[in-house]
Amino acid sequence: MPYEDEFAHYKPLKRVSESAQVKALLARAQVKINSPAPVLLKTIALADLKPSGWISDFVLAVDGSMAEVPVKNGYPSAAVGYVTVASVLLDVAKMMRLDAQRPADPKEFRTIQNAESIDAALPGSNVVVDNELNAVGSFRRALFELFQSKRVSENGESLLDTYEALLKYKPVSDRQKCPHGEDCLRPDQNYQRGDSEYTCSCLQARSLFSTDALRIHESMKPEGSNQSVLTQTMSVLERVWVVHFLRTLEQEKLLPVLQRLAIVLDGPLAVFDDPAWLSSSIKSELSRINDAAKQAIHDDKFEMLLCGIEKSGAFMEHLTELDKGPDGESDALPRQTAMLLTDDYIKQRIIFSTSDREYGRNTYFGRKVFYKAASGALIVLNLPFLNDSHKDLKRAEVNQFPRLADTMSLLDKLVSARYCNAVTPIISAHAEAAIPMNLGKRVLEKLARQLMAEAAKAKA
């Protein structure tokens, strides 16, 4: 009888809710009132955007997952974390053919689980590897080695190289403490940034890693759950992986494939918590790569199609509310319509704030737009900042959202009506059209072949 168990939990809850201090705090909390001039959403129909008819040949979908698993090593509450980042290249034409043929087979979800390109175990509480002094040291080493060991192309740069390129954008003037903390003999006990693996300049000369600058290890708890460490790690890996993929394309002189490729990332275009500084680095790097792509393609106006898709959270909740009509039934919003969000709208209606600082200023490298797809699916979409004008959240103009119309058309094709509001099933439902990214070089070659074939066709 789970109900009785739950009731046991509610007793203290009842006591808390009746407490005078709790009541006083709730009385002080501001309640949302409809302001005299409510901010309106700027909506725009796909038809008004004059869609170009462009459809990508490939979609690179990146999605991570993680789990904390107890292990038996003789110490209590020992755990390791598993983090996987699946990146799958989908052949859009093949996908659409399959869709027309028959309903997608749910068992294909398993196929995709084998397609991950990053699959790692990281030490959690009470797990110490090799000669490391403690769990934190073990985690730091494992994280560094993970970055070092992954690359899209055998001859290309490693994920660590990509990370270190992003690290170069980070201002030096920050006060990060040496990960050895009290054990460091330097008077200031400050972390000294460096590349790869190196040693602290103090007499202890203990190992430091470039990946220590992510500061994820600072959230690590010696006892108990380290869920937040895993969430941060997964989110960083997903986002750095996208940059890694783009930089590899650049190094292999394959940037023109971005004309035929869309990149879909699970979650917002943002980095939160300790590694949040990455967000600004990713913003700079995406804009640099986009400029390089413009040159490679000889098109000044080119913008890459990259989007993040949120499955849950306050924005999704708000969008779901908006779609409820006066009678509480869903489907009030018009289909194939985007809603462009401004800072004012977000602060008044979604994330309550009276601050002058723009929403997400230090964490986002893109901005949000709501989309209701042709199927009726509701999507919280993020599109990247590729230049400074995109970043102005005071305004919400169509030209501040790179490739908005193409993204809307693409989502109409990708979001299946069978799955409520979900784009992640792009990955699972269409596994048959997928090429596992851990084939590395071969994927790039396939892309190159496709591109060359198209170029040859255009010339003929």
Report the nearest approach of Zn ion to the CB of residue 126 (Å). Answer: 24
Nearer to Zn ion, 201 or 227 (CB): 201
Nearer to Zn ion, 72 or 175 (CB): 175
Which two structure tokens, joined as six digits, stand for 341?
């969000």
Nearer to Zn ion, 100 or 203 (CB): 203
Piece of 13-21, 139-147, 200-208, 238-246 that binds Zn ion (CB under 5 A) = 200-208
Residue 208 binding Zn ion, by CB under 5 A = no
Report the nearest approach of Zn ion to the CB of residue 208 (Å). Answer: 8
**SS3 per residue for the chain:** CHHHHHHHHHHHHHHHHHCHHHHHHHHHCCCCCCCCCCCCCEEEEHHHHCCCCCCCCEEEEEEEEEEEEECCCCCCCCEEEEEEEEEEEEEHHHHHHHHHHCCCCCCHHHHHHCCEEEEEEEECCCCCCCCCCCHHHHHHHHHHHHHHHCCCCCCCCCHHHHHHHHHCCCCCCCCCECCCHHHCCCCCCECCCCCCEEECCCCCCCEEEHHHHHCHHHHCCCCCCCHHHHHHHHHHHHHHHHHHHHHHHHHCCCHHHHHCEEEEEECCCECCCHHHHHHHHHHHHHHHHHHHHHHHHCCCCCCCEEEEEECCCHHHHHHHHHCCCCCCCCCCCCCCEEEECCHHHHHHHHCCCCCCCCCCCCCECEEEEEEECCCCCEEEEEEECCCHHHHCCCCCCHHHCCCHHHHHHHHHHHCCCCCCCCCCHHHHHCHHHEEEHHHCHHHHHHHHHHHHHHHHHHHC
Distance of alpha carbon 381 from alpha carbon 13, whole angstroms: 37
Piece of 163-171, 179-187, 265-273, 431-439 that binds Zn ion (CB under 5 A) = 179-187
> Is residue 51 packed enough to be buried (19+ CB in 10 Å), middle (13-18) or exposed (0-12)?
middle
Report the nearest approach of Zn ion to the CB of residue 209 (Å). Answer: 13
Piece of 56-64, 195-203, 321-329, 396-404 that binds Zn ion (CB under 5 A) = 195-203
Report the nearest approach of Zn ion to the CB of residue 202 (Å). Answer: 3
Report the nearest approach of Zn ion to the CB of residue 172 (Å). Answer: 18
Piece of 183-191, 214-222, 286-294, 409-417 that binds Zn ion (CB under 5 A) = 183-191
Piece of 127-135, 196-204, 268-276, 278-286 that binds Zn ion (CB under 5 A) = 196-204
Nearer to Zn ion, 199 or 320 (CB): 199
Report the nearest approach of Zn ion to the CB of residue 139 (Å). Answer: 18
Q: Hunting for tokens 């799958």 — which residue is that?
A: 88
Piece of 100-108, 185-193, 247-255, 309-317 that binds Zn ion (CB under 5 A) = 185-193
Nearer to Zn ion, 32 or 175 (CB): 175
Report the nearest approach of Zn ion to the CB of residue 192 (Å). Answer: 8
Report the nearest approach of Zn ion to the CB of residue 164 (Å). Answer: 21
Residues 284-303 that bind Zn ion (CB under 5 A): none
Q: What angle do CA 97, 103, 108 make, to 5 degrees?
A: 90
One residue of 62, 83, 88, 200 binding Zn ion per CB under 5 A: 200
Using DSSP's 3-state secondary structure scheme, residue 69 falls into strand
Residue 184 binding Zn ion, by CB under 5 A = yes
Distance of alpha carbon 217 from alpha carbon 213, whole angstroms: 9
Piece of 7-15, 202-210, 261-269, 322-330 that binds Zn ion (CB under 5 A) = 202-210
Nearer to Zn ion, 2 or 187 (CB): 187
Nearer to Zn ion, 189 or 251 (CB): 189
Nearest C-alpha neighbor of 52 from the set 301, 304, 406: 406
One residue of 55, 202, 297, 332 binding Zn ion per CB under 5 A: 202
Report the nearest approach of Zn ion to the CB of residue 206 (Å). Answer: 6
Nearer to Zn ion, 202 or 316 (CB): 202
What pairing do the DSSP bridges indicate for beta strands 197-199 and 207-209? antiparallel
Nearer to Zn ion, 192 or 284 (CB): 192
Report the nearest approach of Zn ion to the CB of residue 207 (Å). Answer: 10
Size of the site for Zn ion (CB under 5 A): 4
Nearer to Zn ion, 57 or 132 (CB): 132
Nearer to Zn ion, 38 or 181 (CB): 181
Report the nearest approach of Zn ion to the CB of residue 187 (Å). Answer: 10
Report the nearest approach of Zn ion to the CB of residue 178 (Å). Answer: 5
Residues 63-122 that bind Zn ion (CB under 5 A): none
Nearer to Zn ion, 201 or 337 (CB): 201
**What does the binding site for Zn ion look like in residue numbers (CB under 5 A)?**
184, 186, 200, 202
